[in-house]
Amino acid sequence: MPNKSICFVGLDNYPVLNPAKGNEYFGGESVQQTLLAKAFRDKGYTVSMVVKDHGQPQGEFIDGIRVWKTFKENEGLPVVRFLYPRLTSIISALKNANSDIYYQSCAGMLTGVVGWFCKTYNKRFIFRLASDSDCLPGEQIIDLWRDRKIYEYGINRTTFIAAQSVKQVNLLQRYYNLQSIVINMAVELPESTVNRKRDIDILWVNNIRDCKCPSVVLQLAEMLPDYRFFIIGGAVPGFEDLYREVKERSMLLDNIEFLGAIPYDEVNDFFSRAKLFLNTSDIEGFPNSFLQAWARSVPVISFFDPDGLIAIKHLGAVPSNIEDMAVRIKHLMSDDDERQMVAATAREYVFENYLPVNVASHYETLVL
């Protein structure tokens, strides 16, 4: 295979790539990009990554991946910092990477910048939808009207769009008249979960923001005092008050352990200790946490079910409301045989469909 190069553009990726910075903010897309970056590295690609400035040297080499930094969080003066240092440093990093293919995910201003760069310099641009809201005009998790328009500029300048679900394919076609193809996500597989002590009844892992509905976990803990709930999640810029509220309310309940932000290289251990994984979001794409749970033999209970996967494949439970969610939790917690059967099914399903090298190969077949 001729030498090819790919650059993953994810400004929050560095805390996943470098465990020394693991306590700093990152999201599920950072996990996905880092897993894929390593998979392409293993397939012989020259791989680089564009991230924020965390004080690291420019052009740092980590795990066979060249890292180009942009701006520091909150660097520059309000209003003008959009141009300098943000826009200028991002374009400079994209140029430094000098890759054949650029990969970016999650709706935002960054999509437009990468789209412009790839169009201008004749590069291939892969964009991956990260949430159903990415497909809905005006509903994207983007604060500014200007940035929404820049995102829409970029998504119309892609070489290829990867979707997480058939639902996203249909939404993108309906609202933007753009084609996309479902490509599975990647998951980091554990060495083994055999004989692991399951001392966490219900685990909830998410960055704490409104759309993740953390208050539902608190309500469930009050409804189910006999079960231990663990809450893992960091504060998201703009939602600091919500984070404090969830933390303070958790401290009033004896059956909640509120752990706050946990580095990625440590959080998987909590999945391996859990009996059930809980998702309470009101909008999602395909949560990385679902795969982390299933790979570690943990059933998922969630209001959100991408393409009906949980129900069809028997990977957990899909309740209709909070009362039903409490009933489903009690049922699976009280029936060890059924819970373990679901857990085994989930683990097998993930191993068959979400290996990083296979996901990278799918991109190669369709795009590269």
What's the pLDDT tens digit per position in 93-144? 999 999 999 999 999 999 999 999 999 999 999 999 999 999 999 999 898 9
pLDDT score of 192: 64
In a shared domain, residues 170 and 315:
no
The structural domain count of the chain equals: 2
In a shared domain, residues 139 and 215:
no
Model pLDDT for residues 26-51, shown as the tens digit of each residue? 888 999 999 999 999 999 999 999 99
Model pLDDT for residues 180-231, shown as the tens digit of each residue? 999 999 998 887 656 678 999 999 999 899 989 999 999 999 999 999 999 9
In a shared domain, residues 98 and 134:
yes
Mean pLDDT for 79-83 is 90
In a domain, 179, yes or no: yes
pLDDT score of 1: 45
Model pLDDT for residues 254-281, shown as the tens digit of each residue? 999 999 999 888 999 999 999 999 999 9
Question: Do the Cβ atoms of 299 and 292 come closer than 8 Å?
Answer: no
In a domain, 271, yes or no: yes
CATH of the domain at 28: 3.40.50.2000
In a shared domain, residues 172 and 301:
no
In a shared domain, residues 255 and 128:
no
In a shared domain, residues 220 and 168:
no
In a domain, 124, yes or no: yes
In a shared domain, residues 212 and 313:
yes
State the residue range of the domain holding 160.
5-186+355-366
In a shared domain, residues 359 and 239:
no
In a shared domain, residues 205 and 300:
yes
Model pLDDT for residues 311-335, shown as the tens digit of each residue? 999 999 999 999 999 999 999 999 9
